[in-house]
Structure 1
Amino acid sequence: MIVAAMGLIAEKGVARTTLADVGVAAGYSRGLPVERFGSKLGLLNAMIDSADAWFAEQAPMQVRDLRGLAAVRARIAAHVEGGLKSPVGARFVHYLYVDAAFGVTELRPRMQALMRTFAAGFQNHLEEARDAGEIAPDADCEKLAAVIVAMVRGVFVEWVLTEGATDLRALSPLMQEMATAAIARAGGGSAPCKEAPPP
């Protein structure tokens, strides 16, 4: 049912997808999704869990043992490759971002948490880069991570809106270069993510 629901939401969004539609698309009764998940929000939370767990498995394969800015680039690539491997899942997640912002407000806490999870991965690599001297010792890693996530999410939203016409694979190296080149020059910030190591 989760797979069927992702396909429906990726096609027509959250508001126009009913639990009855999901049951029929999955080959079950119209009432089974209610019995299994209780509500549409319950189903959406289960779907988000599934998507988050899938990416958590995929990202380490792309990042491997890289650290610092090299890992930042690899993690951007991992988001793009994840979208290309599972376009239905990627469209589903980004529909949820948009719906949480402008319609289905009860989704906001969960989507905010998902965004924080994605940002935490980048922040960890930025801290590695800061500790290794790749970026300024007073760089605000939390804010830099938020900017990277916003860039990646924005490109994916454009990809959804253009119905796949946006070339994610071609944009991936450009996003990597823009992010890491800007970060390498970035400094200052009122709240460093942690103390820089002594010289």
Structure 2
Amino acid sequence: MKQHQRRKKSSDRLINAYLELASEQGVSALTFDNIGLRAGYSRNLAFQKFGSKSGLLASVIDHLHDKMSERRQKQNLGALTGLEGLLLYCDVHFAALEKSADMKAYFILMSESIAAMSEMREQFVGSHKRSATELMRLIRLGRKDGSIRKDVTVDMAAQIIGTQVIGISSQYLIEPSFNLKRARKELHILIRSAYGTDKDELALSKPAETVAGR
């Protein structure tokens, strides 16, 4: 294994250890000692790689965004209309929330940053702006390809969809009996109703290509 591969492997193991601990035990467990031990390394390695807890959190957030982007790309995102891309964005997020501890850890960390009024909040502000950038890209694509109305305000629509995703995710984590599948379907209806066009309605009447979770 080459040196850069070893560095990436150790970083990934430390990030995964961070997410596992956050999901299982909460923020109080996120010490460099615990993270290093869970990953099979020393405390010093975690500190040397990331410099601080803030630096580690930044790497964790980048890691999660990259993973979600990869999952969307695997669902043939490039072949979809802008509106279909928005629905896929929501579906991939909810599938990860339901099946992976990573997204649970993300919301635990976000909630802690709000409750503690900590400097971590700025990292989540940046994370949500990054999500909004992708949503705005899809909305602009939809306005161009005709699947989204031309009069839709790009930035506000992105913020509204983003906050709906955050709210549904939070409710799912708070209330174990919350029906995530029904909420996902309802969100599809709301997005289509609020932003879709007649062209989108015509597409619905034809055999649709498979989109994850739809």
Question: Does TM, scored on the shorter chain, surpass 0.5?
Answer: yes
Would you say how many aligned residue pairs link Structure 1 and Structure 2?
Answer: 183
Per the TM alignment, residue 16 of structure 1 is displaced from its structure 2 partner at its CA by 4.2
What residue is the counterpart of 1:106 in the other structure?
Answer: 119
Per the TM alignment, residue 84 of structure 1 is displaced from its structure 2 partner at its CA by 3.2
What residue is the counterpart of 2:191 in the other structure?
Answer: 179
* Residues 13-52 of structure 1 deviation map (CA, whole Å, 9 limit, x = unaligned): 3244222121222233344322332222122122112111
Gapped regions of structure 2 (runs ≥ 5) = 1-13, 198-214
The residue identity in structure 1 corresponding to 2:87 is R
**2:29 is the counterpart of 1:24:** no
- The 5 A counterparts of 1:21-170 are 21-62=34-75, 63-85=77-99, 87-103=100-116, 105-162=118-175, 164-170=176-182
* Residues 132-155 of structure 1 deviation map (CA, whole Å, 9 limit, x = unaligned): 444443321110110001001111
The residue identity in structure 1 corresponding to 2:178 is T
The residue identity in structure 1 corresponding to 2:193 is A
Say which SS state the counterpart of residue 30 (structure 2) adopts. Answer: coil
- Measure, in 2, the Cα distance between the counterparts of 1:79 and 1:106: 25
**Cα distance 1:81–1:108, how it changes in 2: closer, same or farther (>3 A)?**
same
The residue identity in structure 1 corresponding to 2:74 is M
Contact 2:81–2:145 (Cα < 8 Å) also in 1: no
Counting helix residues as a fraction of each chain, which structure ranks higher?
A: 2
The residue identity in structure 2 corresponding to 1:120 is T
- Indicate the larger mover: 114-123 or 130-139: 130-139
Indicate the percent of aligned positions where both proteins have the same amino acid: 24
Contact 1:19–1:30 (Cα < 8 Å) also in 2: yes
Say which SS state the counterpart of residue 138 (structure 1) adopts. Answer: coil
- Measure, in 2, the Cα distance between the counterparts of 1:28 and 1:81: 31
Say which SS state the counterpart of residue 105 (structure 1) adopts. Answer: coil
The residue identity in structure 2 corresponding to 1:141 is V
* Residues 138-176 of structure 1 deviation map (CA, whole Å, 9 limit, x = unaligned): 3211101100010011111122223x5434334322211
What residue is the counterpart of 2:203 in the other structure?
Answer: none
Say which SS state the counterpart of residue 142 (structure 1) adopts. Answer: helix
- Measure, in 2, the Cα distance between the counterparts of 1:70 and 1:109: 31
* Residues 113-134 of structure 1 deviation map (CA, whole Å, 9 limit, x = unaligned): 2111212222122223323444
Per the TM alignment, residue 105 of structure 1 is displaced from its structure 2 partner at its CA by 2.5
CA RMSD of aligned residues (A): 2.2
Gapped regions of structure 1 (runs ≥ 5) = 186-199
What residue is the counterpart of 1:194 in the other structure?
Answer: none
Contact 1:72–1:180 (Cα < 8 Å) also in 2: no
Per the TM alignment, residue 81 of structure 1 is displaced from its structure 2 partner at its CA by 2.1
* Residues 86-122 of structure 1 deviation map (CA, whole Å, 9 limit, x = unaligned): x211011112222232325222222112111212222
Per the TM alignment, residue 64 of structure 1 is displaced from its structure 2 partner at its CA by 4.2
- Indicate the larger mover: 33-42 or 51-60: 33-42
Contact 2:82–2:148 (Cα < 8 Å) also in 1: no
**2:17 is the counterpart of 1:4:** yes
